[in-house]
């Protein structure tokens, strides 16, 4: 990886990669970009998942690429139980791709429709999975979207790939600084800012980005740059091993050379009253 420039805000995540083919031959690979698993069951508000799908773009050397979408489904009884990839079983039980995509697009909020369809399925392997649930149990299933496309990296040449999307932003109605300190590296200065603004238990937004996949390249990332943007009336905190430069009233920037990511990134945005 010659370089990676990552921009993160609540409205946009944009990444510019510059790949260098170190060999004397063209290399064609299938590139996969997995999105998170989203549960079909929800009790209240949920992130605007459909906006992420609609906003996802891939640009290679200045040209838009339309990736192929793959939808996978999973069943997991509880956090201690194994995660079962039930994609093929859902298809055999008559689920269309749109139905399997429901956790993302919310075309049908009637969870009983999906439970009934699963329980009516006579596929033996599905019946074996459902035998672990009681008659009136909710069937906790989730959906994952994976984008893929074929990419040729020319011999001894550079290839620029950009992808961008509107991120999934979570949060809570009340900040608990002591509990959230470790995940977001909330420091003394941040806590003082909260206290000064009387915002110690204010609502907050948060998002995550998986950085550690960057440790899988043939060599370290030669030049890495990360920019995080907050709103004017917010405080922001995140974990970073190194110098953080404030390059504008709302933007913070970090740089590394020969970078091997060792942890993922969690960012918290606290709205000040």
pLDDT tens-digit readout, 87-112: 999 999 999 999 999 999 888 878 78
DSSP bridge pairs for 12: none
Question: What pLDDT, on the 0 to 100 scale, is given for residue 215?
Answer: 62
DSSP bridge pairs for 57: 164
Residue 178 has pLDDT above 60, yes or no: yes
Cα–Cα distance, 68 to 102 (Å, whole number): 18
235 within 8 A of 190, measured Cβ to Cβ: yes
Question: What pLDDT, on the 0 to 100 scale, is given for residue 173?
Answer: 76
Question: What pLDDT, on the 0 to 100 scale, is given for residue 198?
Answer: 84
Residue 46 has pLDDT above 60, yes or no: no
**Cα–Cα nearest to 253, from 233, 273, 224:** 224
Start-to-end CA span in the chain (Å): 42
Element (H, E) at 19: strand 13-20
57 within 8 A of 20, measured Cβ to Cβ: no
Residue 177 has pLDDT above 70, yes or no: no
* Chain centroid to CA 59: 19
Rounded average pLDDT over 35-57: 78
Element (H, E) at 126: helix 124-130
Of the pLDDT bands very low, low, confident and very high (cuts 50, 70, 90), residue 3 is very high
Long-range contacts, 185-190 (Cβ 8 Å, 24+): 185/237, 185/238, 185/239, 185/240, 186/237, 186/268, 187/237, 190/235, 190/237
pLDDT tens per residue across span 200-225: 788 889 998 888 877 667 789 999 99
């Amino acid at each position: 990886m010659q370089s990676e420039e990552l921009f993160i805000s609540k409205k946009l995540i944009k990444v510019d990669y510059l790949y260098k083919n170190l060999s004397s031959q063209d290399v064609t690979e299938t590139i996969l970009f997995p999105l998170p698993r989203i549960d079909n069951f929800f009790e209240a508000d949920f992130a605007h998942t459909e906006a992420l799908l609609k906003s996802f773009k891939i640009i290679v050397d200045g040209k838009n690429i339309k990736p192929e979408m793959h939808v996978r489904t999973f069943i997991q009884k509880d956090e201690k139980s194994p995660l079962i990839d039930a994609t093929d079983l859902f298809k055999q039980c008559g689920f269309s791709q749109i139905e399997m995509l429901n956790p993302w697009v919310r075309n049908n909020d009637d969870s009983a429709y999906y439970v009934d369809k699963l329980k009516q399925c006579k596929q033996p392997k599905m019946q074996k999975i459902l035998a672990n649930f009681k008659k009136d149990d909710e069937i906790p299933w989730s959906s994952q979207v994976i984008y893929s496309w074929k990419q040729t990296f020319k011999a001894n040449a550079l290839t620029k790939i950009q992808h961008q999307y509107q991120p999934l932003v979570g949060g809570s109605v009340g900040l608990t600084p002591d509990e959230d300190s470790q995940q977001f590296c909330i420091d003394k200065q941040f806590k003082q800012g909260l206290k000064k603004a009387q915002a110690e238990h204010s609502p907050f937004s948060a998002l995550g980005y998986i950085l550690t996949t960057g440790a899988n390249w043939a060599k370290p990332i030669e030049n890495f740059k990360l920019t995080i943007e907050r709103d004017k009336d917010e405080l922001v905190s995140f974990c970073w091993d190194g110098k953080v430069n404030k390059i504008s009233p709302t933007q913070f920037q970090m740089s590394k050379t020969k970078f091997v990511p060792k942890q993922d990134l969690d960012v918290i945005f606290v709205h000040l009253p």
